[in-house]
A and B are shown apart, each in its own frame.
Chain A
Amino acid sequence: MSTVAETAQKSPSTRSLAARLIRQRSALIGLVIVLFFVFLALFAPLIAPYDPVASDWLTVRQPPSAAHWMGTDDLGRDVLSRVIYGSQASLLAGTIAVSIAILAGLPLGLIAGYFGGWIDTVISRCTDALLACPFLVLAIALAAFLGASLQNAMIAIGISAMPIFIRLVRGQVLSIKNEDFVTAARGQGMRDGPIIVSHILPNVVTPVVVQATITMAVAILAEASLAFLGLGQKPPAASWGSMLDVARQFMTNAPWMSIWPGLAIVTIVLGFNLLGDGLNDALNEKD
């Protein structure tokens, strides 16, 4: 079973990956940022000082103070609590959308790349058609079609992000399907299914992980954009995009309403991008 060993060598072990990642300063910063927001999202009910949807009619649009560190919004809700809870919508949208994109894109890319022929033509042409549409435009159109809600926004973003994964996986499969270890497996009488699962798949996982990290950033930004347009999280639940949508009306007289959710979006997107870039570098580092 020397072929299997060879396959395993091709993808770096988790341990060496972690070691390489830590050597990348920017990747480490990205990881810390991402973990920080994951922590906020998971423990929002414990961290947030107020209920994010509880209005207080007497503290409407108050600037930051000891009681409300980030001020209050147009309905007297605590901005800090809403920013904290908003991380749930963002990370959830990012995770689910990317999962949808991978769950649909990975098998399609494997099939197209491995089998080729007419099935490849059909899948690739459809992918080209989807990629011809700008990502955000496609997501907006789908979200508007599906109706405004966080779930539908996730589905829309997931579908829009799927073609990238199809193309990535297909290209990856094309480059390995004629490698010796695949030919050998086939020569030993292995059928297509097991070959894909045990020989092809392990070799496409790493680029997919890198792509997924970068797509997370794109998906989070897309969720914020959709929410900004009123196509995301339903009110009164908090989402950074919808917070910005309301806040833009008060840019001059209540700037704290827009600064914090805006900063949160910038930071988390930066975090995922740094992490993605770092992963990419770490994985492509030559031994």
Chain B
Amino acid sequence: MRIGRRLSVAAAVMLAAMSSVSAATLKVGMQDDPDALDPALGGTYAGRIVFDALCDKLVDIDANLKIVPQLATEWSWNDDNTELTLKLREGVVFHDGTPFDANAVKANIERMQTLGESKRKSQLSPIKTVEVVDDFTVIFKLDAPFAPLLSVLSDRAGMMVSPDAAKAAGDNFAAAPVCSGPYRFAERKARDLIALDRFADYWNADEIGYDRIEYLILPDSTVRLSRLQAGDLDVAERVAPTDIQAVEDNADLALYSSAGLGVSHLFINQSEEKGEDLAASKELRQALELSLDRTAINQVAFNGAFTADNQMLTPLSSYHSKAYPMPERDVEKAKELIAESGVESPAIEITYENSLTDGRVAQIIQAMAGEAGFKVELLPLETSSAIERYLAGNFQLYIGNWSGRADPDPTLNTFFSTEGSQNLVGYESSELDSVLNEARSEVDETERAALYEKAAGILLEDLPTIPLYHPSWFYGARADVDGISIYPDGILRVTGVMPKN
């Protein structure tokens, strides 16, 4: 008896000890494994989630997409909008102990502009020189006004890494990144986990709630949900819209959501060779758009949890154009337009990444467009071959998923300007080019909105793509995790996330 009692006491102590250990680790279930953990090289949404804990940036956005301070505490433009002066936060150190100052900012911007494989080159190209005024003041000098600059600095291009560590590690920096965020890099196992430890010298250390964060890579959303339900995860990223109810009904779980910046769109190849009839005929593209019921797509595929829309920019953005409301489905009109085009039962082929969501959307489009007289073939491909074809522009139609940005410029310019890096369909409109260029350097919000309205009009007339919906972000979390708030960029911000009590 006595031994039995002792054993049970020991077990209770062990349990208590174990639960206090697990309370200090935040386990986050992630859909994808991030690519390189270097803000200059990273190109994935999953990577941006990890970067939030790992690397502070010059500025951040808030829930309303307004720019708020992070490593820069205040900023101002000169009169002709060609110089941005930033005041930097004092008392910040990188994870390796190097102090953060104006020289570090200069080194970082120059590194991102020059590093061979840097993905930030074009975003930062408007910055001609970085001038160090004193230890905590820098000036970014531009040739011409560039309205999206602060927005650019609120993402990876504004993330600061330790210049010493970057120099020492060279090409290997991504293997053990050194930044100044609330958590420091601990270990990474490819396709398995990324672990970060609390950074005790963080400038805002009171807001760090856990000793360790583990990002576990779990591609299947049902697996993430069941592990969250079992208490095996504290937070699950991207809960499927059809599982929202299950999270809401569970008293041990809480749902966090936000409408998103992203867009899912049906990209239409404009070259005669790849795009065929659809490239040649504007009527056919318009017919295709009219044959689709975006509200029904949203309802059937996503339980109505996303936002059906006809524009690339999210309705959350102040630049979303109200002058062009989403058209109602009109099968008769679509049939007329097809008849006008002179093509009999036009054949279209939709290429997409073989995911359950895109697969469902593609099949709905197939059925809807079919009713208007299109002959729709589906070509689901495994992720890497789909992306390879996408980047090579080797498709007639492609279901593109773009994560979106707070500023309209990265979306519209990269996808639709003649030289845009994501303009894979060969769309060319000199009119749109000049409008987008003008909007880029326009700092007045009202003037800028008028330009983007013009751009929306051109795009909806030419239809190089048919935007379908804007996804919303859904995170599930254990009810004993406090302080989570999700913004339109869908990033889990870990500062302020704490165990309850």
Contacts and interface: CB of A to CB of B under 8 A. Distances in A.
Pairing of A with B: yes
Interface of A: 53-55, 57, 60, 74-76, 144, 148, 230, 234-236, 245-246, 248-253
Given A55-B367, A75-B364, A252 B378 contact: no
Contacts of B300: 55, 57, 60, 74-76
B90 to A, nearest CB: 50
B363 A250 contact: no
A55 B243 CA distance: 22
Interface stretch (B277-285, B312-320, B352-360, B488-496): B352-360
B65 interface: no
Interface in B332-383: 354, 356, 359-360, 362-364, 366-367, 378, 380-382
Given A236-B366, A248-B222, A148 B356 contact: no
A147 to B, nearest CB: 8
Nearest to B221: A249
| Nearest 9 Cβ contacts at the A-B interface | A230-B354, A55-B367, A236-B363, A57-B296, A60-B300, A235-B363, A57-B300, A235-B378, A249-B356
B240 interface: yes
Interface in B3-23: none
Contacts, number: 62
15 contacts: A55-B300, A55-B364, A60-B299, A74-B300, A74-B301, A75-B300, A75-B360, A144-B382, A230-B382, A235-B380, A236-B363, A246-B359, A248-B222, A249-B221, A253-B246
B242 interface: yes
A57 B329 CA distance: 14
Interface residues of B, number: 25
Nearest to A148: B380
Main secondary structure of the interface of B (DSSP, over half): helix
Interface of B: 221-222, 240, 242-243, 245-246, 293, 296, 299-301, 354, 356, 359-360, 362-364, 366-367, 378, 380-382
B22 to A, nearest CB: 25
Given A236-B366, A246-B356, A253-B243, 19 more contacts: A57-B296, A60-B300, A74-B242, A74-B300, A74-B301, A75-B363, A75-B367, A144-B382, A148-B380, A148-B381, A230-B359, A230-B382, A234-B378, A235-B363, A246-B359, A249-B242, A250-B242, A251-B222, A253-B246
Nearest to A55: B367
A234 B354 CA distance: 11
Contact of A249 (B240, B293, B362): B240
A230 B245 CA distance: 28
Contacts of A236: 363, 366-367, 378
Contacts of B382: 144, 148, 230
A249 B222 contact: yes
